[in-house]
């Protein structure tokens, strides 16, 4: 995590919780999972995925203010 702190806004608080299967994962897999989680959090385009704001199958742009089909809807 230390190598990734410069990607976060100053004053950010971070809590990382591992799923039960993480105990069997190697360092490289855990690093990839952490990088993917940070990319989602920071609104970065995932490798091989839709960029932030891309139109989803629902016809509206997905993003932090419009999370798509997640329960709870938009936090506007």
Name residue, tokens 């709870």.
72
4-40 pLDDT per residue, tens: 999 999 999 989 898 888 989 999 999 999 999 999 9
User: What is the reported pTM?
Assistant: 0.54
The Cα 49–Cα 62 span in angstroms is 12
Report the pLDDT value the prediction gives residue 45, as an integer from 0 to 100: 74
Give the whole-angstrom CA distance, residue 69 versus residue 66: 9
Are the C-beta atoms of residues 68 and 74 closer than 8 Å to each other? no
The DSSP code sequence of 1-22 is -GGGGGGSPTT--------GGG
- Sorting pLDDT into bands at 50, 70 and 90, what band is 70? very low
Q: Which two tokens stand for residue 63?
A: 């993003």
- Residues 39-68: tens digit of each pLDDT: 998 998 766 555 545 554 554 444 455 445
């Amino acid at each position: 995590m230390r190598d990734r702190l410069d990607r976060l806004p100053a004053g950010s608080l971070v809590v990382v919780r591992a799923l039960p299967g993480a105990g069997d994962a190697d360092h490289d897999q855990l690093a990839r999972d952490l990088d993917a989680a940070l990319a989602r959090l920071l609104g970065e385009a995932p490798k091989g995925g839709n960029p932030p704001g891309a139109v989803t199958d629902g016809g509206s742009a997905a993003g932090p203010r419009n999370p798509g089909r997640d329960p709870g809807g938009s936090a506007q």
